[in-house]
Structure 1
Amino acid sequence: MKKEEKSKNKEFERGTVKSGKKYIPNGIGRGGFRPGSGRKSNQDKLERLEIKAIHDAHILEEVDVVEVDKATGGTRIVTKTRVQALLDVLYSEGHNRKNIAAIKEYFDRTQGKPLQGIQHGGEIKTEEQHLPTKAELAAAEAYERALDEEDEDE
């Protein structure tokens, strides 16, 4: 019985901060252990890396593709990666059948998607120009005259 009481007291002391005679639970601005604190596990990152590895292996997997030989008119079996086979199908669909969506998809996959254009509506605000007052103009003219006089004296 005493061992259980001691372990309970240790857990109680570990989870609280002693302030004078009164025990204050953690989380009231005194620091200490917080549930859920600390470094997070890398489980999400590991799962994403695993899925990416499976995806990359699937894309680079070699498949047999039946192609029509243009010279003889017969068919032949060619081994290609899945990506290359997909690009060949998109190219032939776009070129032979004038399928615009296939052409767009082909270029997006080979050249990358184009940057989105920026659309701007409304006025373009610029800084207001400061128009000099008569006094500022007179001061600038006097300064120019003084510089000209110094140049003439030299």
Structure 2
Amino acid sequence: MSTITESVTIDAPARAAYEQWAAYETLPRFSDGVINVERRGEDVTHWTVSIAGVTREFDAQVLERIPGRRLAWRSLDGPRHAGALEFEALDDNTTRVTARMDLAPEGFAETAADKLGVINIRVRRDLQQFKHYMEDGGRHEPQTWQDQWHEPPL
């Protein structure tokens, strides 16, 4: 089991950041690995994700919901993981978002990605894209790794 902790500071109120993240269906707009999220009940969602090039599906249950402050969940099937997002108001319009995840990768590709730090990088990048999404008023589109690759200057 691996533990990942990543944070980002965004220029948005904590409540707005929380509400945007809690609108699970919009996560694919700023999270590269999330293909689709469907609500299956008040506290259960069905996820389709891509991890290290492998598509996985699972159901997750919300364990804790504190509006404007915290969301916690655990998987019910598929890849085993649990996590929480903390939304810490630094002032009226600045929020530190911290993601903490415990996961047990399945299969060779996911295990290798975890050991190489690829999953940590993915979480960090998703938080950065969330920051841009919130600060751009929802107009931000996720970038692919090709969009971020630049030739070194001559």
TM-score when normalising by structure 2: 0.17
Q: Say which structure is richer in strand.
A: 2
TM-score when normalising by structure 1: 0.17
Name which structure has the greater RCO, CA cutoff 8 Å, separation 6+.
2
Q: Say which structure is richer in helix.
A: 1
